[in-house]
Structure 1
């Protein structure tokens, strides 16, 4: 009878579903004389110590059969990604265990290499355990000589007397119960309860996009495919990995001393698999258009135009001051169209300060928050606040920084709305940015603006609100301007990126 069964993964091949099945049926298995060890218990210390200690503790029990499932035994998924190689230290890692116990059966699963690497990278990316590999790193993965046959060879060299059972991922993918029964030969599995729900499934596009956005990795976002498949490998790269895998399958079919559980779907569907890699463009789709309401830039004119237009497009969304470049990607997807106005940061600082100083009057009447009331009790002019950012007095400087983070239009800065210069450039390069117009150029470009938003109405020039020019009494001193540039340099960097985008789009 097989006494010790060792299941070594691999990662992203349904291992977590198998382990969940074991945990859910632990009492039944124990009653049948089977003890199981799998995460999280298998990770309470070094695995080389955990397994022998676990077996020793069970030596005097009635249990006669033991099953260990730990996919990190041959190596970690993170190490695979970092090295661009498939379990390169498997022989060394497994060799540490060979002298401690002798498994009768070793179980493992393999997966088509393009699918494995994509799933591993995206799963780790969504969990913030890795970044999206560079194109050079992806090339290295595809050109690496190591494949599943090498991992299998390492396993057989470490455990030469064990029977090896290799399952293809697509075979019994949702049925770990049958896989275990075929691999172990134990009949105890017959009464075990099976939940076919997959665990730790590959993250969807929205999860990947959110992870990249949280890092501000707009370069990575730009490299994702245009389809919901979220492809990170090119078609030639995927084809190369697929062909290597087909060679691995041929090798496994002929392997001595091993049982290979092959998916008929995979072997019969190779041509279908290849057809998924066509480079045909995805069908055109209508994307949502979002107009960002960046405070104190004249965005109310668009609201007026849209309100007067009975035929306003359903796909045009007028954002509020909480909507941002990032939040609209998360809400509408990374191909949504984006429009906004922008303004010189110094002018916007003065305008925003004064608007909140008068509590939005005369058009609005929005009371100060408690923090704003404190800020305006300390600083009655925008120049006073700007100059205080470099005050020698620590209390005054601290009060200025507090005020910058408390006054609504000042804390809702370009970083809040547009994130970074890289984000603006990403939207431009992706073809998402349809309007990027400086406030003082709105009148000159009103027809282009209405055309881009598919609005049929227009209003006379010079009727914009919330964009009054700075009065001479509100002008900032050189010190205040320099302080703003030192205190919030990204505001000016984003402004410069917007200027470039506006010029490219023709909003001059």
Structure 2
């Protein structure tokens, strides 16, 4: 397997620098045309990840539809993607039936038809935002792997994008906070509190963000990848639109970013555990101060997970490959950041349709 990692010299990638300087697709006059003479719509694919500010980004995009239209951009978010558009494309690839495979193939064909419709409407680019294309939180935790099914999932949807310019965006997050946020959501949704053995497996599971990024690049060898840290951009998602589009995009007035359905704090999870009869788990959480974040990992595990994240950031800053752009807002923005992210869209394991 060809990996994205190169021997590029250490170089700090400045945020928003050269994202579109040489991008011929930034001008309609340079865009390719299809057999009918219509311009071929380019795809800007936002893959999340879960619990990395994706909902705030989607809410912002939804509120910016008029400005996006003026810039030649269309936007499809969960309101569109979770209404059957991706039927057969979000299920666990290890549990596919013949019907699932056929349904996924039809969905790819339907996507291509919808892209053609956008072309005839004069749309230059489509921003498609859907986290579940790379997996679900339930699968991450059950398999104890960070999007371990990503390659198999994206390979199934990749035919829909053939022949089009493709830019892919993904946010990453510090592992201790990312796993804790996923666990908090799953506990609130009905799962049991993790055991010490569960936490040890999560802290030592081998997949890293650099594996996720490399796998995306392997599935889409012609795509440009844009990567940003949750901690540095969750409060200011507007520049991410231009990063995804690969060109300047004039947006309208912005509402203040907000957090909806944020991760449940430790006290709330203690109450849930007590109501379910898990008194030992409730007791472990009951000593947390009011409003304290749920953090199940011990100090050694936190240190190890943060070191793993620092290694990923260093890899991105040093040059993760010629097709990867890293949006680097500040130094060490993830250290001690007190950010949570939640979403009414986090019902995806129920609403997308047989994703597990």
Give the structure-1-normalised TM-score.
0.50
Partner residue in 2 for 1:259: 325
Partner residue in 2 for 1:80: 140
On the 8 A contact 1:7/1:106 being kept in 2, the answer is yes
On the 8 A contact 1:39/1:70 being kept in 2, the answer is yes
Partner residue in 1 for 2:297: 233
Per-residue CA deviation, residues 33-77 of structure 1 (Å, 9 max, x unaligned), is 211111122112224526445424424212121010011111111
**Which of the pair has the greater relative contact order for Cα pairs under 8 Å at 6+ separation?**
2
Name the SS for the 1:29 alignment partner.
Answer: helix
Q: Among residues 7, 24, 34, which one is paired with 2:63 in the alignment?
A: 24
Moved over 4 A (4+): none
Q: Distance in 2 between matches of 1:13 and 1:38?
A: 16
Partner residue in 1 for 2:184: 122
Q: Post-superposition shift, 1:129?
A: 4.4
Partner residue in 1 for 2:277: 216
After TM superposition, the structure 1 = structure 2 runs for residues 441-480 of structure 1, keeping only pairs within 5 Å, are: none
Partner residue in 2 for 1:137: 198
| 1:263–1:122 Cα change, 3 Å | farther
1:38 aligns to 2:77 (yes or no)? yes
Give the CA RMSD over aligned residues: 2.2
Name the SS for the 2:48 alignment partner.
Answer: coil
Instruction: Give the aligned length.
Output: 270
On the 8 A contact 2:166/2:223 being kept in 1, the answer is yes
Partner residue in 2 for 1:249: 313
Question: Larger Rg: 1 or 2?
Answer: 1
After TM superposition, the structure 1 = structure 2 runs for residues 241-390 of structure 1, keeping only pairs within 5 Å, are: 241-253=305-317, 254-256=319-321, 257-266=323-332, 270=335
Q: Distance in 1 between matches of 2:196 and 2:131?
A: 28
Q: Distance in 1 between matches of 2:286 and 2:295?
A: 5
Per-residue CA deviation, residues 263-317 of structure 1 (Å, 9 max, x unaligned), is 42526x75x68xxxxxxxxxxxxxxxxxxxxxxxxxxxxxxxxxxxxxxxxxxxx
Partner residue in 2 for 1:106: 168
1:94 aligns to 2:94 (yes or no)? no
Give the structure-2-normalised TM-score.
0.70
Name the SS for the 2:51 alignment partner.
Answer: coil
On the 8 A contact 1:52/1:100 being kept in 2, the answer is yes
| 1:44–1:220 Cα change, 3 Å | same
Name the SS for the 1:157 alignment partner.
Answer: helix
Partner residue in 2 for 1:187: 248
Q: Distance in 2 between matches of 1:21 and 1:251?
A: 30
Structure 2: state its 5+ residue gaps. Answer: 1-24, 27-41, 90-103, 338-356
On the 8 A contact 1:6/1:68 being kept in 2, the answer is yes
On the 8 A contact 2:150/2:212 being kept in 1, the answer is yes
Q: Distance in 2 between matches of 1:189 and 1:200?
A: 29
Per-residue CA deviation, residues 91-139 of structure 1 (Å, 9 max, x unaligned), is 111111222204521000000100100011112222x142222211111
